[in-house]
Structure formats: structure tokens, C-alpha cells
Structure 1
Amino acid sequence: MISQPASSHQVWQFLKNVNVHKCKRFRLPKGRKMTFAVSFLFGGISTEYDSSISSLTHIISSYLTLSRAERPFSVKHMYHLSRVDGLVRTIPFHNAFTIAELQAHVSDIIILPGRSLPITFNTIESHNEYIVNLLHGQFGEDGGVQTLAALSGLKGTFGDPDVASLTMNKFAMSSFVSSLLPSDVMKVPKTRLVRPQGVDDAIRFAKSVDGSVVVKPNSLGASLFATRFHDPVASEIDIRNLLREIFKYDNTALLQEFIPGDEYSCGCLISSSDVVLLPVAKIETAQNFFGHEEKHSSGLVIERILDYENDQLLGRLTSITRRIASSIDLYNMARFDFRISNDREIWFLECNYIPGLMKNSIFPKMLRHHGMTVIELISWIASHSRQYERKKHFIEYEISE
């Protein structure tokens, strides 16, 4: 999948000629009846369980505000994957459904009989249901549930297991992006992949960095444990302690140079034939660092939605987003995070394979600014995205003895 980077001239020609599409507001034609049903898979066994619950709550709340005539699809089931026992409980949707009922199901679901995920997937496949995957983090967007869905033949928003695994692995994704684009178009911060047996080498690397460093898990989401250290030499003990804590939850960690400047996020939708760019979000914090506390505490971050049409630098940023998204087999939607340094250089940070759909999270803000609700998003995905089809892996051949 990783190829040699194109020349700067080739890349800039691509970026100059790229046709940047804006998302057209999705509207259900008057008098049109609901033609398809969707079911939701939510919860999960990762530390991002609560984000998944919040994403579904926002979706169902938005859905319930619409009259039946305005709803572009019907909701069939909600499948809750419990982080307590790893079993799935089915919550049926009905005309009088309420958010209070959803919350009661989630709170009391452990007392209800559950089934394993493979058995649930087999049942879903036999009913030919379309599943919107809202599982975040480990096993939700790292290729785990995508592989199981592919083996079960499920229809829905799971996508390619290999691409999910690639994007969840921050080090691998950065390596891919750096091979795709030359450094005078986009850069990747100096990064060291840290394993438990390589902490001493990582500390030496941190001390060699001119400026601040960031320590974070390689494959966890929600910026869990992500910490900036202004003085790596004086912070050696704290860095070692943080790495020790990360290794309880992730096999590897990242130690990365911090790029002074501003942080930006670019969202996009992926149809069967094109990448549709959403507005850019500029992320502003008091410490100029977007960590876990800033993401999940009220009042610590300002996310400003920007118009990139008349801004050359933001135009470059969105074109780079389009180039990356077009170069891997993404499905449905994604979000890419960057920093733009004080000297206006663009630095890639990471890709979010399944952006959170909580009411106040970045991706829904991009959607709202562009005139699309989360309900319209789901309808758009079901109508425009292609389905992942698992290739045949069996090739018959003879083995000479």
C-alpha cells in the first residue's frame, strides 16, 4: 500500500487541479416515503465506550425530533455491546421510543440475556440489516470488528479492515502519509515508536529534541494519556511513569516532537466515486495543545469553523486531506488532524477513522456548518457510499511433492 512519494511538482499540480467539492445539503423530497431501515451497533469494550453511547444518543435524539414523514430512513434495532461482559443485547425501536428508554436499557442491560458478537452478526446477516457502526477505539475502529463483519458478510459502515487497522496505528499512518507526499508539501513530526524494552532509547531521543515533546499511546483514541512535556530533560521521571501507564493499555507508545503553531481538523465524506470535503475546524486552547482533558472538559477548547475557499493556506490543507483520503480505501467518512506551524508549514498528526458524532464534537459541528445533520449524514452514507466487499482469498493450486 505504501508507495514512493511523488515529486513536489507532481503533487502541486495535483493540488492545483483538484476539484474541491462542497457537501450539498441533503433534503428528503416531499412526499417521499422511507425506503430503507438501519440498525446501530454501539457501546463496545474500549475506553471510548461513553463516546459511543453519546454518539448514539445524539443520533436518536435528532431522529425523534423529526416527524415520521421527515425521517429519511426507519430505525430497526440498536445493538448494545456491553463492556462488562462483551455480550450484545438488542434494543428494538418502536414508534413511542424515548431517550429515557434508551438510557434505561443501557443502564439495566446487564440483567437481560445477551449473545456473543459472532452469533449476533450471523443473525443480523440473515435478516439483511444495514448496520451503522458506532463502536469507537479498540475493536471498534482498529480492524477488529471490521474483520468480523467482513467474515459475516454484513452490510453497513464497517469498511476495509486493513485500512481501519492502518489509520488506528498512528505510527503506521504517519509513515504512509510521509511516503505519499514530499516534505516540502507536508511534513510529519519526528517520532519514535516506543516499546516497553525501548524506554531508555526513547528517553535519549526526547532529550535530543529541540523543544517540547508529546507522549501518547500509538493506538488509543480520544487523546487518552496524551501529554506535552515542555522540558524533556527535567521531565524524565514523569515521561517514564507515563509510558509505564500507557503500556497497561497499549503495546506501543509514541514520543513525538511538538510542533509550535495551530491545530486544525479536516473532515470529509467518501462516496462511491469522490471525496467530499467539509469545512475546516481550527482548534484553540489556552495551552495550545489539544489533549484528553481539553477534549472532554467544558470550556477548555474553542473550535472555530473556517471557510477555506478564500484562504490559500487552508486550501492547501484541504487539498492535502483530499489527496490522503483518495489514496487509501476509506469508506463513509473520516477526519484528519494537522498542525500548521508558525512559518506556515503543514504537519500531519493522525486520521480518525470513525469520528465521534456526539452533539458537541468536532465532526457534527463541521456538518452543521455545512448544512447537514447527523440524520442526513447517515442517509447520505447509505445512499452514496460503496459497500466493502471481501475479496476471495482461496486460490486452488497444486503442491508438488
Structure 2
Amino acid sequence: MTNRPKVRLALIFGGVSSEHEISCLTAGGVARAIDHERFEVIGIGITDDGRWVRIPHAELASYEVVEGTLPRVASDRPEAVVLRGAEGTQIATRAGDRLADVVDVDVAFALLHGPWGEDGTIQGLFEMLGVRYVGAGVASSAIGMDKDLMKRAMAAAGLPVGPWVAITPAQWRDERQASLDRVAALAYPVFVKPARGGSSIGIVKVDDPAGLEDGIAEAQRFDPKVVVEQGFVGAREIEVAVLQDLAGPPRTSLPGEIVMHDPDAFYDFDAKYLPEEQVTLQVPADLAPDLRDACRALAARTFAAMDVEGLARVDLFVSADGEPFVNELNTMPGFTRHSMFPIMWAASGLEYTALISTLVDLALERPMGLR
């Protein structure tokens, strides 16, 4: 047996977005499940005020939900510094005016959700540092983070998307009535969402025009730009996990379905991460074979049209008459063992640890620079 050196994998998590805790939860799940025979984990936490710190593997692996409380990056850990050295990217610890514990990095895995991480910003940093990284590139990350730009790109590619209205801060300030008039063309209920958020944070279901301005105000607490989407009444929420295949078309998992126990509820933050029997994640979804195949094919088309690399979760609606529509694409989906993305791949024959290894292998194999 050949003793190959371990791949040094920098897990980067936390961040300054409203999804800080979800990122930590994801990172804890990956740290516990990763193949330690193949990978050496270097934990880099980003505090909620944007500082990069070193987090020991044992501490990272302890990140879990405890009595309803989600983990956060501790602010008193040693400061991390990222360098581009002569031999590649390195991580060091700042010790006063010196750098200590300098280690080379083979691959970066940014388990960041939301702005300043999932939106192309850190991907651009990785490109400039010359380090290989897991997941989508700069452009597809940025477009996939903005629900308005994402839907425009999908519609331009001929993908079926539902009606929506985007409202920028300038439009809300200067053209408020015109913005409300544009929303009036949609059928209620509508969902008001932060344009560049995730984990269903800040989403408001609005059943009639009287609640629209309050719904917009709530979404604007998380992002000054919002989107208002027409709800699909009676639709089923279907999700498909997608992986890049460097030698062929994207690979798709068996679909899963989000089944809310309360028919008037929706899949919000609490239902995703603090479920308490609010929701059933049915994997695989109970779909007729032709509809199952149609959902998988649409997810693969969406992944390819958005030029995604690595991984994505494609969220679909299936209308009452059996027609699938794209809701959105998530380039860094929830990735704990209990998240839909790994659950769907496990049901398709790719278990959590092997899934992590597959993603790192994809990052190692794909070329650097323009591609």
C-alpha cells in the first residue's frame, strides 16, 4: 500500500451573513463525516464581524444544535492569515507581528451560505490566490445568489420559471406606487423574499394586498433589494441534487419532496433547521416515473444553463396539473447529514462521506483559471 500524503483541505465557515449559524452547522457536519484517512482538515472560521480565525478540528466537529441553539464562530480564537506563497496558497496564524503555524493548502471548501461567501466574493479570492476550491465559480455563484438575476438568466435560457417582480431600494424610494402596481399583476398569495438571502430567512407569505408593504419591510431588514414571487397554489415542492461530471452531463439524484404538515405553512427557517415535526422530507419523492425523469432532466438543464461547477440543489415546483417549474438554484445548499442535498444523494447510492470526497476530487481535477 502506498502512503500518499493527505490532501490539506481548508474548511471555511461562519461569515457575516444572516446564515452564519447555518454555515457553522454545515461545517460541523462535514468535519465529523470527512474521510480522515484522505484529508487533513484546516478549520478557518469567519466571525460575524468578518475576522478570520483558526478553529481546531475538535472544536469544529462539536458544532451542532444544542437545546435549540445553533453554533457560532468564537471571536477569541487566533487570527488566521491567507497567503499566496511561491509554492501555492498557505494558511498562517498571526502571533503579534509574526506568522506562525504556516501550512500549505491543497483545496478550499467554503461552506458559507448567503452574501459574502456564496455570492462569488470568496470564489474570486480563491481564483486570485490560485487555490483549487469546491463548488461553483465566480459568475454562477454571483448570479445564483441574486434571485432576480437568477430568474432572468433562467428565463433567458428558456427554463420554465414562475412570475416574479424585483424591487430595488431606488425603486422603492422613488417609484413606490409603480412597484406596487407591478406586484398587482401577480396572483395572491405571493412570497416576499430578500433577493440575496437564503435558508428562508426574511421570507414572508402575503395573502392579500393589505399585507404587502409590511412584507416588503420585513424582507428589506435582510436585503434592501427584494423579490416578490407568485405562489404556486396546490403545487408540490420537489428538490433535486446535482453534481458536476467532468466527463459528461451533470449527475442528478433521485428527487425529494418537502411535505409540510400544515397545508397553510411554508418551508421557512424553523421548518428547515428546527423542525419539531413541522415537515417531512420524503426521499425519494413519490412521483410517477415520467414526472420523476422530467424533474431530474429539468434540474440538469438548469445546472448546465447556469454554468455551475461542483454541486447545486435545484428547487422545483410541480403544479397541480403535473408541470414542473424551476423555483431557484442553490450553489451551496445546506450540507449537514440531515440536509436534503446529502439525503437525496444517500438515497441515490452516494453516502455522506463519499459525497464529500467526490466534491473535493472534482475540485482537484478541474483546471485552474479560465475554463
Counterpart position of 2:6: 36
Deviations 1:251-281 (A, max 9, x none): 3101121112111111111121231111101
Q: Which residue of 2 aligns with 1:51?
A: 22
Q: Which residue of 2 is the match for residue 272 of structure 1?
A: 246
Match of residue 279 from structure 2: 301
Instruction: Supply the AA of the counterpart residue of 2:165.
Output: R
Larger radius of gyration: 1
Higher strand share: 2
Between the aligned partners of 2:342 and 2:78, the Cα distance in structure 1 is 34
Residue in 1 aligned with 2:259?
284
SS at match of 2:213: helix
Secondary structure at 2:123 match in 1? helix
Measure the CA separation in 1 of the matches of 2:149 and 2:61: 42
The 8 Å contact of residues 14 and 48 in structure 2, kept in 1 or not, is answered as yes
Given the alignment of the two structures, is residue 318 of structure 1 paired with residue 296 of structure 2, yes or no?
Answer: yes
2:340 pairs with 1:366? no
Q: Report the CA distance between 1:389 and its aligned residue.
A: 2.5
Identical positions, percent: 20
Q: Which amino acid aligns with 2:28?
A: T
- Structure 2 Cα separation of the partners of residues 370 and 145 of structure 1: 31
In the aligned structure 2, how far is the partner of 1:384 from the partner of 1:350? 23
Superposed displacement of residue 314, structure 1 = 1.8
2:316 aligned counterpart, secondary structure: strand
SS at match of 1:110: coil
Shift of 1:308: 8.0
Q: Residue 284 of structure 1 aligns to which amino acid in structure 2?
A: V
- Structure 2 partner of 1:137: 114
**Matched position secondary structure for 2:271:** helix
Could you tell me the TM-score, scaled by structure 1's length? Answer: 0.77
From 157, 164, 168, the equivalent of 1:191 is: 164
Contact 1:43 / 1:53 at 8 angstroms: preserved in 2?
Answer: yes
One-letter identity of the residue aligned with 1:390: G
Deviates more, 1:32-41 or 1:360-369: 32-41
* Higher RCO (CA 8 Å, separation ≥ 6 residues): 1
Task: Please state whether the residue corresponding to 2:255 is helix, strand or coil.
Answer: strand
Q: Helix, strand or coil for the counterpart of 2:299?
A: helix
Specify the alignment match of 1:8 in structure 2: none
Q: Deviations over 1:38-59 (max 9, x none)?
A: 2211111111111111111112
Once the two structures are superposed, what CA deviation does each residue of 1:300-340 show, in whole Å capped at 9, x if it has no partner? 11111126896111211111111121233311110011111
Number of paired residues?
Answer: 342
Q: Secondary structure at the match of 1:264?
A: strand
> Which residues in structure 2 correspond to 1:76-95 (within 5 Å)?
76-84=41-49, 86-93=50-57
Whether the 8 Å contact between 2:335 and 2:341 is mirrored in structure 1 is yes
Partner of 2:369: 390
SS in 2 for 1:256: strand
Classify the secondary structure of the residue corresponding to 1:79. strand
| RMSD value, Cα | 2.9
TM-score (norm 2): 0.83
User: In the aligned structure 1, how far is the partner of 2:82 from the partner of 2:114?
Assistant: 17
Instruction: Say if 2:141 is the partner of 1:164.
Output: yes
- Give the Cα–Cα distance (whole angstroms) in 1 for the partners of residues 61 and 187 of structure 2: 52
> Does the 8 Å CA contact 1:283/1:301 hold for their aligned counterparts?
yes
Indicate how the Cα distance of structure 1 residues 280 and 34 shifts in structure 2: closer, same or farther if over 3 A, else same.
farther
Name which of structure 1's ranges 147-156 and 198-207 shifts more when overlaid on structure 2: 198-207
Alpha-carbon distance change, 205 to 297 in structure 1, aligned in 2, over 3 angstroms: farther
In the alignment, does 2:205 pair up with 1:240? no
- Letter of the 2:6 partner, please give it: F
- Structural mapping, 1:100-119, within 5 Å: 109-115=74-80
The 3-state SS of whatever aligns with 2:228 is: strand
In structure 2, C-alpha distance between the alignment counterparts of 1:308 and 1:362, rounded to whole Å: 15
Q: 3-state SS of the aligned residue for 2:165?
A: strand
Q: Which stretch of structure 1 is more off in the superposition, 311-320 or 192-201?
A: 192-201
Bigger shift: 298-307 or 382-391?
382-391
SS of the equivalent of 2:254 reads strand
Shift of 1:118: 6.7
One-letter code aligned to 2:369 = R
- How much has 1:128 moved relative to structure 2? 3.9
Aligned counterparts of 1:203 and 1:152: Cα–Cα separation in 2: 45
Whether the aligned pair in 2 keeps the contact of 1:42 and 1:53 (CA below 8 Å) is yes
Distance 2:336 2:62 in 1: 19
Counterpart of 1:355?
333
**Aligned equivalent of 2:355, options 377, 391, 394:** 377
Question: Once structures 1 and 2 are overlaid, which stretch shifts more, 340-349 or 284-293?
Answer: 284-293
